[in-house]
Amino acid sequence: MKEVYVVPMVHTVQELGSLEKRIMETRLRLFGAEQTEKFFDQVEQYWQEAERKIEGAGLFQPEIAAGAQIFIDSLPNVNEYIVQKVLQDLIRQGSPAYKIIDRLQKAGAKVWGTEDTNLLLEEYRYWQDVASGKKIIDILEIEKLLRARDRAITRRINLVMSENGEIGIVFIGAKHNLMFKTVKIINL
């Protein structure tokens, strides 16, 4: 039976791309500098704890990591060269999640492009429109997009992982709901 370790993804500013400046301005305006700094300290602590849990599960051990398949929300299912380029860019920018992913990859795990590119672009455009004031937030539209992404992510993971006991490590946002039927889920 497949084992899938789920690591709740807490996205950092390094992962926001071109929306980083707008989101940071909005966060500072809404919460102030002190609360924003406190939030980022909590995010850093979260990733330190996540790394300890991954270590405790033995996933950094080369004999275990060598059979592990890594899936990351927001990482498009494109060719391996582009996947590695995106990973290296986020590692260089200091994303704590991607530093952990880099450590897993160096231990032998394989990172796969995870998401349907068209769905990612659709959601990205949606948030660009919200950030620019062209759209207001529509919870039903957000949920519809998220569920479509969940179905695509689940299909991708099932396609990549064989039924012979491979290990999956899924870095995914808390709002996602992956729909596995024959998988042992281990929440970290």
pLDDT of residue 181: 67
CA dihedral 158, 169, 104, 8 (to 10 degrees): 140
DSSP letters, 116-138, are -HHHHHHHHHHHHHHHHTSS---
Q: Which is it for strands 110-112 and 183-187: parallel, antiparallel or unpaired?
A: unpaired
The whole-angstrom separation of Cα 34 and Cα 165 is 47
Whose structure tokens read 């275990």? 64
Q: What averages of pLDDT result for each successive group of 10 residues across the chain (188 residues)? A: 87 69 76 84 92 95 94 92 91 90 96 93 87 85 92 90 77 85 72
Q: Which is it for strands 2-9 and 110-112: parallel, antiparallel or unpaired?
A: unpaired
pTM of the model: 0.86
Helices assigned H by DSSP within the chain: 20-56, 62-65, 80-92, 96-106, 117-132, 139-160
pLDDT of residue 177: 85
pLDDT of residue 133: 85
pLDDT of residue 16: 65
pLDDT of residue 151: 93
